Structure 1
Amino acid sequence: MRKKAILFSLLVLIIGALVGGGFFIFYNANGLSYLSSDSAACNNCHVMHEVYDDYNKSSHKAVARCIDCHLPHTFFRKWVAKAESGLGHMMVFTFEKNLPTHFEANEKTKKWVQENCISCHKDYVENITNPTLKAQHQDQSLSCVSCHKNVGHKRNY
């Protein structure tokens, strides 16, 4: 009986330390900010300071937040993307030996940026992009950012 009490106490202590440590890390990492749409949340990571500074000087700051360009606009896709991105970044910064000096957009993010450019600028680009065509008939050789590289910020996406 005494052995069970000791094991139970150790289990409670370990779980308490994990939960407490998790809350401490979440608090210090300003975790709740990632649930918002505020672009300042992107600046929580030191590798984003330069990009955030560029964004604050850009023409898009007055009309778009980071998530307006970098995440899907539908509710479910946006929250799944935020979770994937956040967990991915957390894993890199927790377990990688050689920390990145900046992030690069992956293919999924590049696709979202293109979709969002077209969505916001539909009146200007509807003659260039034809949503009635099947994907295999669309010319995918150019993306909006291939010409407008530094519109939101420097450093490609």
Structure 2
Amino acid sequence: MASRESKLLVLLVLVILQVGTGVMAEGRHFSRPGFLYTRTRGRCTPQYWSSRREAWPKMVPERSTVWKVFGWQATERYRKELTLAEAASMEEEEEGAFGRLVKQSTAALINSYMRRGYPYAPWEVKTLLIQSLVSAEAAAFQAHKFRQANDNCG
């Protein structure tokens, strides 16, 4: 009889684990292939934000222009009409270091509002973008730092 009860208990645990395949924890979605789960990757990249799978924060509307969000200094390197949505979906290779910078900065700014534990605050993202406009080397360096933070964010 005890054997039957233990089998039922194991079955119940297995059913509970299968039902909970999509678990929300601290606002993050985890998918469970089988019994082990892995964190969904790519939820902080520019590609993710440009796909519009998740609503952008109200503080950073998609149609806002780069210069209005990051400051007038951004007009030195980017056209005045460039929107954040366009910046997030821009082809980095065509635009060079400054293109990579604005693309990764846009994702970093959204993440700073949307992702708990993101390593940069919104004011830091804005300040670092403006400071990095001085040269292609500075832009490339900061774009790389933002890319690391965006790629490693959950």
TM range (shorter): 0.3 to 0.5
Pick 1 or 2: higher relative contact order, CA cutoff 8 A, min separation 6. Answer: 1
TM-score by length of structure 1 reads 0.39
Higher strand share: 2
Which structure is higher in helix share? Answer: 1
